[in-house]
A and B are shown apart, each in its own frame.
Chain A
Amino acid sequence: MSLRPYFAFFKAYFLVYLAYRVQVILWFFTNALEIAFAMLLWTAIYASSSVDVLYGFTLSDMLLYQLLMTLSYSLTDMNPIDTLYDDFNDGKIAMSLIKPVNYEIQTFFQNLGANAFRNMVLLLPMIGIILVSGLLNSSNVSLSLASLGLFALSIVMGLLINYFVKFVFSNLVFYTEASFGLWQLQAIVISLLAGGIVPLHFFPEVIANVLRLLPFAYIQYVPVMALMGRISGSELTSALLIQSIWVGVLALLAHLVWKHSIEHMKVNGG
């Protein structure tokens, strides 16, 4: 099967976002505000601490972690729930299903188009901020071609895991017809379990160990910790292996859930 036709979906979504350029500048502000909030909060927390190191992180490690988590969030961000809900809600999905394109692949490429546009705008300023902040030096993170390559590999797998997890979850819209509640639930659960609110090793050890086995840790936490040099050697090899297993398992699960959904879906209008 050729993927060629699907690039049209990629391009279409890319262009849709291009049309809302002002929105993108505002995205930047929203992101900047969020990251400023997290960094100021952690600065206050460290200022109140009698020790310099909390759970193995200095303040500078924590600030770098927050910046890299924002970066990896943007790189791995996919929102199939929006696509599925919109198509389902206005009945367009029925038309899509009878066209000679695979709906699953189409949705993936649409989301990838949106992701590509967002990163085209946000990536350079974010990398700029990380470099200018000097946090890489103060956290003793040395970047090499190898470490960046492994980060890139891990991020790509993270994107796939994020997409498939959300795709499976998104199928709930067909049964519940809820959208915002589900969107919010999905966002907060993933953020919590992926280390977006606190680094996973801040959790009590038993919980942290369980979280390290779940797919969520492999969306952002593992790539970021690898880049910071906190996961290396054989530990990194096994982490990447587990990550690739999750990609396979979730891709299969997403496909099975989708097959089940289209057999039971009730579409009104269209």
Chain B
Amino acid sequence: MKRFFKIYMTFTSQYIKRLVHYRLDFAIGVISFVFVQFSGILLITLVFQQIPDLNGYTFEQMVFFYGFFQLPRGLDHLITDNIWLIPNKIRKGDLDRHLLRPIDPLFQIIAERFQHEALGELIVGGLLIAITFPSLGITPTLPMIGLIVVLILIGSLIYTSLKLLTASISFWTMNSMQVMVTVYNISDFAKYPITIFPTLIQTMITYVVPFAFVSFFPASVLLNQANGLSILFQSTLACMITGSCALWVWNKGLRGYESSGH
């Protein structure tokens, strides 16, 4: 464990050195993600000029859900973004390079890149929560904050698992990038309180692609609209199921990997 941590830190410090060199790239990356958040908030703002509440949710609550959504997403994005390159590595045979080294290949791939662009999501998410929080009329206790932190970590792991699962399909299809994009985009529904959508959609993002556990349920717990312990149990279960599926498919694919030749 200590060795992994040390290696990770070496990789990351190399990456940060590169970032300092390409300052402009860094700035553009962060700005682009800030812009994405801005457009989402703009939609909510313009719509709420015309309606008092959305299916019972106030403007502040909508913005809060939107901000909360950015935290697990940003955290996963910050640390494991390189999983997006797996389809490419498999297709081009680049995976060979990782297999030749004496550390776990999945760890190497994840450690290879520390995605600074995610700071845009984390900063905006944090700001939105900070701005809307006073108007929500809740005073969180210390255990509650601890629970929320755990739920956010579990949420990030669900993101990571779904990315790994869909990326691993590339072992059989050569390119599963589009599957990754499609599944990742389902998380759009979790940006807003899921109860505004039809039951079919709610069922899908709770039981099939469990993005509801990433932000909607944790945020509801914080708003005292859901039972914390029951959500903790369900989130853990969802995370364990997606996580073990992802690892199983990844390992199965890796065992059958024959490289694309050079």
B145 to chain A, nearest CB (A): 31
Per-residue CB contact flags for chain A residues 43-59 toward chain B (1 = under 8 Å, else 0) read: 01101111100110000
Question: Would you call B178 and A182 a contact (CB within 8 A)?
Answer: no
For B31, the chain A residues whose CB sits under 8 A away are 181, 185
Whether B39 pairs with A177 at a CB distance below 8 angstroms is no
With the chains together, A48 CA to B47 CA distance in Å? 11
A198-B43, A202-B46 are contacts. A45–B32 as well, Cβ < 8 Å?
no
**Binary CB contact string for chain B from 42 to 54 against chain A (1 if under 8 A, 0 otherwise):** 1100110011111
Question: In this complex, what residue of A is CB-closest to B35?
Answer: A188
Known: A177-B22, A188-B39, A191-B39. A33 touches B185 (CB 8 A): yes
Known: A185-B28, A188-B36. A37 touches B188 (CB 8 A): yes
Summarize B's interface: helix, strand, loop or mixed. helix
CB within 8 Å of B: which A167-194 residues:
175-178, 180-182, 184-185, 188-189, 191-192
The verdict on A23 contacting chain B, using a C-beta distance below 8 Å, is yes
Choose, from B189-197, B234-242, B244-252, the stretch at the interface.
B189-197
Interface: A7 (CB within 8 A):
no
Complex Cα distance, B188 from A175, in Å, reads: 33
Q: Which of B36, B51, B179, B201 contacts A45 (CB 8 A)?
A: B51
- Could you tell me if A41 and B192 are in contact, using CB atoms closer than 8 angstroms? yes
From residue B47, how far is it (CB to closest CB) to chain A in Å? Answer: 5
Residues of A within 8 A of B173 (CB): 22
Bound Cα distance from A178 to B116, whole angstroms: 13
List residues of chain B with CB within 8 A of the CB of A178.
22, 24-25, 28-29
Contacts of B182 in A (CB 8 A): 26, 29-30, 33
Q: How far is the CA of A175 from the CA of B201 in the complex (A)?
A: 44
Inter-subunit contact A30/B185 (CB<8 Å): yes
Partner pick for B46 among A41, A49, A203, CB 8 A cutoff: A203
Most buried by A among B39, B173, B189: B39
CB <8 Å contact, B117 and A181: yes
Interface size on A, residues (CB 8 A): 38
CA distance A47 to B43 in the complex (A): 16
Tell me the complex Cα distance, A175–B23, Å: 12
Q: Would A176 and B25 be within 8 Å (CB), given that A45-B47, A192-B39 are in contact? A: yes
Complex Cα spacing A198 to B45, Å: 11
- B188's nearest neighbour on chain A, judged by CB, is A37
B44 CB to closest chain A CB (Å) equals: 10
Contact between B28 and A176, CB atoms less than 8 A apart: yes
Given A22-B173, A26-B179, A33-B185, A40 and B201 touching (CB < 8 A)?
A: yes
A197→B33 CA distance, assembly (Å): 16
What are the interface flags for B161-198 relative to A under an 8 Å C-beta threshold, 1 for contact and 0 otherwise? Answer: 00000000000010101110110011011001000111
Does the CB pair A184–B36 fall under 8 Å? yes
**CA A50 to CA B51, docked complex, whole Å:** 7
Q: Which of A50, A181, A197 makes the CB contact (< 8 A) with B32? A: A181
Q: Given the complex, which residues of B lie within 8 Å of A37, measured CB to CB? A: 185, 188-189
Instruction: Select one of B32, B33, B51, B175 contacting A23, CB under 8 A.
Output: B175
Judge if A90 is at the interface, Cβ distance under 8 Å.
Answer: no
Min CB gap A57→B, angstroms = 10
> In the bound complex, how far is the Cα of B46 from the Cα of A269, in angstroms?
49
Given known contacts A33-B186, A37-B188, A188-B32, A197 and B42 CB-to-CB distance under 8 angstroms: yes
Most central of A26, A49, A175, A192 by chain B CB within 10 Å: A26
- The answer to whether A180 touches B178, judged by C-beta atoms less than 8 angstroms apart, is no
In the complex the two chains form, what is the Cα distance from A253 to B28 in whole Å? Answer: 23
For residue A26, which residues in chain B have a CB less than 8 angstroms away from its CB?
178-179, 182
> Is B55 engaged at the interface, CB distance under 8 Å to the other chain?
yes
Return the chain A residue nearest B193 by Cβ: A44
Are B185 and A181 touching (Cβ within 8 A)?
no
Cα-based distance from A31 to B63 in the complex (angstroms): 26
- Interchain Cβ contacts under 8 Å between A and B, 5 examples: A23-B175, A54-B50, A176-B22, A182-B28, A198-B42
Task: List residues of chain B with CB under 8 Å of any chain A CB.
Answer: 22, 24-25, 28-29, 31-33, 35-36, 39, 42-43, 46-47, 50-55, 117, 173, 175, 177-179, 181-182, 185-186, 188-189, 192, 196-198, 201
> Which 3 residue pairs are nearest across A and B when measured between Cβ atoms?
A181-B29, A185-B32, A26-B178
With A54-B47, A185-B31 known, 15 other A-B pairs at CB within 8 A are A30-B182, A33-B182, A40-B197, A41-B192, A41-B197, A44-B54, A48-B53, A50-B51, A55-B50, A176-B22, A177-B22, A184-B33, A197-B42, A198-B43, A198-B47
